[in-house]
Amino acid sequence: MRWLLARRVAAAVGMAEMEAAGTLADWWLLAQRAATAVSAAESGDSIPTVLFLGRGAKDHFVGRSASGHWTIGRPLHRPTRPALWEIQGIVDLLAYENRMGRPVAIIASPGPLADVSAECLAVSEGASCRRRSPLAARYAAALRRDGELRLRRRRRDGDPRLQRVVVHTTSLEALPGIVRARTLLSRSLLRERRRAHRSSSEELLKEPPDYADYVMFGSATVTAGEVVVNSHRLGHFYGERNDDDYVPGVRLFFDRRLLECHPGVTFDGLHPLKIQGRVDLGEALLAVAVADAALVSLCQRLGRALLFTGARTPSEYVTGTNDLVIRALQRC
């Protein structure tokens, strides 16, 4: 694998000499940071994260593989010519994993996507390397003109009115404490307050340990929040085929642009954003969606739009609450 070769080259030649020779684009990220690969088996224990990129990536869900790798599937609308917002998401992912000390093996189809991703990360970090990829050059121009935040906002899927919101999904049991404190806390802060250890439901998701330090926010259009909440509730991974076991969670809709300015915001390439430690509800909270009538009066104390609907499946609940929040936003 080229990662191993890059370590030898970097040690023999030196990174400064490589950069001066204009070859950093060939090796950027590979030494101790990331690698191009053709299979997850190549990465071994030295590279803990595996990114499947482009064609076939939809067959690889985000989660822990049998080999113990943190595995991420990233499909692209047009694998031969990714959109700039998709490139920014890949850059965010690679940069975050590296900040957490996790080198990444990139398995791309078509193969050149891996090198393009490396070049684009080099661009985002201001490396002075020779850019041979037209896409990397286009990304560099867009980054100078628009900046990272505007590139992330270019994503266009679903109703455009939902682009202004992000969603945090929580359990029915957690809601009273959130309402009393008017604050969302990361799992690590919750454990610290309760003097508790990692629960079995947290262990089953097998996320990297740093995930517990953040409050996560997802896109309004996906069911991932419902899957996570029901997995915690049941103590095993919940799939949408388990419709009889489904209990709708509480969906908290937030103003995306306000949270993007939060001092603890982080972009990891998987979530629209996440925030370290805690998030005060404050002005950023736009609406609350529930399916349990017993929680209506409690939610009304938050003074935000209340969305009440029942559902039999996560997809039905997400679609129904999204329709309601669109109407509520129209009245604002």
- 56 φψ region: left (φ > 0), alpha (ψ -120 to 50), beta (else): left
Nearest-10 Cα torsion for 293, 298, 302, 305: 10
183 pairs with which residues across the strands?
280
pLDDT given at position 248: 96
Q: In the structure encoding, which two tokens stand for residue 124, read together? A: 């985002």
pLDDT given at position 129: 65
Task: Give the whole-number percent of the chain exceeding pLDDT 90.
Answer: 58
Q: Distance between CA 172 and CA 182 in Å, rounded?
A: 15
- Determine the average pLDDT of the residues in 281-298: 94
* Mean pLDDT taken over the chain: 84
- Determine the average pLDDT of the residues in 87-108: 94
Q: How confident is the model at residue 236 (pLDDT cuts 50, 70, 90)?
A: confident
pLDDT given at position 243: 62
Express each pLDDT in 171-228 by its tens digit.
Answer: 999 999 999 999 999 999 998 887 555 554 456 778 899 999 999 999 999 999 999 9
Angle at 194 between CA 193 and CA 195, to 5 degrees: 95
pLDDT given at position 197: 56
Query: Which class would CATH give 2-152?
Result: alpha beta
- Between 20 and 88, the higher pLDDT residue: 88
pLDDT given at position 264: 96
- Determine the average pLDDT of the residues in 248-273: 96
Q: 300 with 211: CB under 8 angstroms?
A: no
pTM score, whole prediction: 0.87
Q: Distance between CA 225 and CA 202 in Å, rounded?
A: 14
User: Can you give the residue ranges of every domain in the chain?
Assistant: 2-152, 160-331
Q: Distance between CA 291 and CA 295 in Å, rounded?
A: 8
Q: How confident is the model at residue 1 (pLDDT cuts 50, 70, 90)?
A: very low
Identity (one letter) of the amino acid at 63? G
The lowest-confidence range among 96-100, 217-221, 328-332 is 328-332
- Determine the average pLDDT of the residues in 224-240: 86
Express each pLDDT in 125-170 by its tens digit.
Answer: 887 666 678 999 999 999 999 999 999 999 877 788 899 999 999 9
Taking alpha carbons only, the member of 62, 22, 65 closest to residue 41 is 65
306 pairs with which residues across the strands?
288
Cβ neighbours around 40 below 10 Å, total: 18
Residue 17, pLDDT above cutoff 50: no
Residue 8, pLDDT above cutoff 60: no
